[in-house]
Structure 1
Amino acid sequence: MTICNIMVSVDLGAAAADRIQLAAGIAERFEAKLTGVAARQVVTMIPVESPDASERIFAIEEQRAREDLAEARALFEREAGMRVKTAWRSALAEPLSYLIEQARAADLVVMGRRGPGDGDPGLMDVPVGALLMEVGRPILVAPPGIERLAASRIVVAWKDTREARRAVHDALPFLTRADRVHVAVVGAGAGQEGAADVAAYLSGHGVHVSTHPLHQPETGAADELRRFARREEADLIVMGAYGHSRLREWILGGATRDMLQGTSLCCLMSH
């Protein structure tokens, strides 16, 4: 199992350059194509006094949107460099829907963390939680400031659910290349969660793996997983993403939400 096509969401936020460099490094390692994706809607909710004025305003806003997309493409081409094969996809469209559509051609989608202090990525922003619930592809969430992912030590946050099983399968290209993989179960009942079976499954794929029961802290599972990952000098966490949509209102599980907003390590998530 390998990765052939990586997509990276491109916006004009402060963390976009780091994210593109990180995605390019992964593409180089897997000899994969890197595709930059960006979309920008034309802002049209402007009161006007005449049809002619409306047309003029729409033309101005459309030109601004096209300029933003051109700037995003220039950023992608500059930061991706010349070491990997690249492609570009963009449109005047709603960013979330457009990326979901384009991801049908991807093995992996690289996104930025969306924490309260991470800044405004602008009008090309794609909400990561909503994307996770809909895209049907593994998402690599990258915190700001991380330009490279070695993934030599990986923590698998295991819970015996469909989402976690999907995440382990989707992460196999990384797991089989890692020096060490730690299967961590937060809370009592690691045996009931089947951690030993997961370790045996990964071992069958040639993975150097061990299992670790972790206690359930008052601050939540995400904090304990991050502490354990730092202690083991890991730089990637693999986990299932939990949540659902209700009339386009995205409801995320606590650990999923905490990771999307607060992870200091890259996190590969599948739903």
Structure 2
Amino acid sequence: MSYRDILVFLDGSRDNDARLDIAISLAKAHDAKLTGVDVSSAAAFEGEWSERARRVGESFESKAGAAGLSSRFKIVERESAGWKDFYVHYADLLIATQPNRQAAGKILSAIPEDVLISSGVPMIVLPHRWTSKPIMQNVVIAWSPSSQATRAVHDAMPILAQAQRVSVFAFDPPSDRNDADIKMLCDHLLTHGITAETEPWPDTGELSVIEALFASRCMEDADMIVAGAYSHSRFRETLFGGVTRDLLRQFSLPVFVSH
């Protein structure tokens, strides 16, 4: 199991280097081709961002070349919409940084939310001001028996298979007289050679899902969360409202998310 085609979004922000370093690390680990896509807006080439924005392609090609990767660099058409926008439909995995106010107007607004909604490709979303350090060694699955969470687990299998520790957090997990949902997930993971610890959390009404997740023992030394989109009424709210929105906007850990 591996990702053979990885895409990283590039821009003139100070988050760019850490994002590119993680993309290169992943591409090397999976012997993948790496595509860098410049998603800077026209405003990025004015003021304090301008020098960094102009060097995005040079920096990408230099680092990817030094790592010995097969790579290509693309620039998003900033004024038109079409089938090639963002080049995401031809990748196995996308890497982006969470939205932040400092980047507002200087990065095309579709990154990362709209792209994740429309691409059908899983994405690793890094926190703003994330520093380059190892990730994907201690991974926590934020689980619910839903199509979104199931998709995320399946998409994350290459990462889960290489992790040193995998934990499953389930908030008020369902069970009946014969089976427990969280145990059946662990049995499924085991068929892929992945042994997982479990932490079911009863819903006492005292903590929200996110509060319980970050209070749980499985988050000790965790370096990535795998999560799907939790269900609400409207499609956009399904992905970026409520629990999933809060998860993608926390500043602690990268999140691997699918929908």
Which residue matches 2:71?
86
Give the alignment's TM-score, normalised by structure 2: 0.82
Which residue type is aligned with residue 128 of structure 1? P
Residue 13 in structure 1 maps to residue 13 in structure 2: yes
**Does the CA-based 8 Å contact 2:166-2:197 persist in structure 1?**
yes
**Does the CA-based 8 Å contact 1:155-1:229 persist in structure 2?**
no
Which residue matches 2:246?
258
Distance 1:145 1:14, change over 3 A: same
Please give the alpha-carbon distance, in whole angstroms, between the structure 1 residues aligned to 2:147 and 2:117. 13
**Residue-by-residue CA offset, 1:167-221 (whole Å, 9 max, x unaligned):** 0000000111112211110135366871111100100111021221124465532
Which residue matches 1:50?
none
Which residue matches 1:206?
193
Please give the alpha-carbon distance, in whole angstroms, between the structure 1 residues aligned to 2:89 and 2:158. 19
Q: CA deviation at 1:162?
A: 0.5
**Does the CA-based 8 Å contact 1:7-1:103 persist in structure 2?**
yes
**Residue-by-residue CA offset, 1:92-145 (whole Å, 9 max, x unaligned):** 3259977765111111000102245xx226533443222222110001011222
Larger Rg: 1
Which residue matches 1:168?
153
- The RMSD of aligned alpha carbons is 3.3
Which residue matches 1:225?
213
Which residue matches 2:229?
241
Secondary structure at the aligned position of 1:262 is classed as coil
Distance 1:4 1:136, change over 3 A: same
Which residue matches 2:182?
195
Which residue type is aligned with residue 240 of structure 1? G
Which sections of structure 1, spanning at least 5 residues, go unmatched? 44-60
Secondary structure at the aligned position of 2:247 is classed as helix
Secondary structure at the aligned position of 1:14 is classed as coil
Which residue type is aligned with residue 167 of structure 1? A
**Does the CA-based 8 Å contact 1:179-1:208 persist in structure 2?**
no
Distance 1:205 1:145, change over 3 A: same
Q: CA deviation at 1:266?
A: 1.2
Please give the alpha-carbon distance, in whole angstroms, between the structure 1 residues aligned to 2:248 and 2:4. 25
Which sections of structure 2, spanning at least 5 residues, go unmatched? none
Which residue type is aligned with residue 29 of structure 1? A
> 119, 124, 128: which one pairs with 2:107?
124
Which residue matches 1:147?
132
Give the alignment's TM-score, normalised by structure 1: 0.78
Aligned residues: 248
Q: Identical aligned pairs, as a percentage?
A: 29
Please give the alpha-carbon distance, in whole angstroms, between the structure 2 residues aligned to 1:229 and 1:12. 37
